[in-house]
Amino acid sequence: MNIAKAFRGHIFDFSDKAHPHNLNQEYRYFEDGLLVVENGMVKHSGEFNKTKQLLNADVKIEDHSGCYILPGFVDAHVHSVQTQAIASYGKELLDWLDNYIFPNERHFENPEFADRHIDFFTRQLLKNGTTTAMVYSSVHDASVNALFRAAEKYNMRMITGNTWMDRNAPDYLLKSPEESYNASKTLIEKWHNKARLHFALTPRYAITSSPESLKVVSTLLKEYDDDGLYLQTHISENKKEVELVNHSYPGNHHYLDVYDSYGLLTPRTLLGHGIYLSEDELKRISQTGSSIVHCPSSNLFLGSGLLNLQNIIENDIHLAIGSDVAGGTSFSMLRNLHDAYTISALNGIPMNPLLAIYLITLGGARALDLDDRIGNFDVGKEADFVVIDTSKNELLSYRLENAHSIEEILFAIVMLGDEKVIKSTCLMGESIWRGENGLSR
């Protein structure tokens, strides 16, 4: 049975030809637009009057006139097991991990605790318009199972895996490489490529992974060579961290080389942060097709540093944005873009608003190697989208009375918007988050 639905509003997305250098030619904006969805996939997107002609008479049109309909947001780096440690005061990355994060992650060994807290986390994503996320779970399989179950319930595209740590963390969070291997393998068999779910091998970073552990990660990655496993890890977030990695891996040329020497850099590898990468490292990332995830809110909150966004783009590296909660202080990708803008301004090259929206939609999808399925409103893509109601924010609404182009409008939404302007979050054409009414299931 064909189930068609249509959504009217200001529709904005980027074409498949879009690239950070040509965004002003490759965006599509229909001031009075219609998005038609059939069986969860995009059937048409275009100007209202023309597209309406293509509809059968019985198709119901959901009217969001005055609101902006954008592809669903992609959060490419977030920790599901740190939500309750958000807004924890003080010091830099390494102390903050020891004082707040590790003790908090310990609770996820309890499956009941995991279910309750992961459900809250998933709702936070949906409430903020995030329809796809790449997530760090804890070392416990309960946290991974809880997240995959929640994503399956909402039919949400989700990537996660159990974190690997075998040193430099409290004993209660350490697992031997063999234990982590077995846990990951069981989870891969259970969840990878089922429904809209994917597994990511997740060695936390070089400090908490011994050479032996990275070798075992590499073995598992090769075992599933044809199955499109993801890999996520942190790199060059903080100066002390970089020093410690150089010290503990003296045989490697640089931080990236630690991961590279174990064959961990693939087009499905997502490297979080990358603030202090050298030109050599950037060139190598570009060659491997791996991606960098910029985590602006986290970088400001932990005082980690200011990523040079332009340098990443000039090296032709896929780039996405991550909220990195709890290092980041907001699940809102709009708030994160606000911080990305601030960082870019401090670096002297203010980020273009089109680039901002690209990075949390099609650009994010590309970094996750999912742009054949999500990221814009091309026919046949999965209909994940957000409806933004700017009238929910009085100041934003007032500002927009004086906006004269779509770039100006988007910039104001980025700078002033947050979860309050998300009227609806739709997964495969179904409204899962409905603003004030909350979740539909």
* Dihedral Cα 34, 354, 369, 128, nearest 10 deg: -70
Task: CB nearer to Zn ion: give 81 or 416.
Answer: 81
The mark string for 307-346 relative to Zn ion (x by CB under 5 A, - otherwise) is -----------------x----------------------
Angstrom CA distances, 12 to 31, 45, 157, 312, stand at 8, 10, 21, 25
Task: CB nearer to Zn ion: give 304 or 390.
Answer: 304
The region that residue 39 occupies, defined by phi over 0 for left and psi between -120 and 50 for alpha, beta otherwise, is left
Cβ-based neighbour number of residue 80 at 10 Å: 27
Each residue of 15-45: b (16+ CB within 10 Å) or e? eeebebeebeebbbebeebbbbbbebebbbb
Task: CB nearer to Zn ion: give 97 or 387.
Answer: 97
For residue 328, the minimal CB distance to Zn ion (Å) is 8
286, 265 Cβ separation under 8 angstroms: no
Task: CB nearer to Zn ion: give 14 or 136.
Answer: 136
Task: CB nearer to Zn ion: give 324 or 418.
Answer: 324
For residue 433, give both structure tokens: 């988050």
Name residue 385's beta-bridge partners.
71, 426
The mark string for 272-311 relative to Zn ion (x by CB under 5 A, - otherwise) is ----------------------------------------
Cβ-based neighbour number of residue 310 at 10 Å: 15
Task: CB nearer to Zn ion: give 324 or 419.
Answer: 324
| Residue whose C-beta lies closest to Zn ion | 324
Site for Zn ion contains 237 (CB under 5 A): no
Task: CB nearer to Zn ion: give 128 or 299.
Answer: 299
Ordered DSSP codes for 276-288: T--HHHHHHHHHH
For residue 421, the minimal CB distance to Zn ion (Å) is 26
**Tokens 């030619």 belong to which residue?**
25
The contacts of residue 403 (CB under 8 Å, 6+ apart) are: 409, 412
Name residue 386's beta-bridge partners.
70, 425
- Site residues (vs Zn ion, CB under 5 A): 324
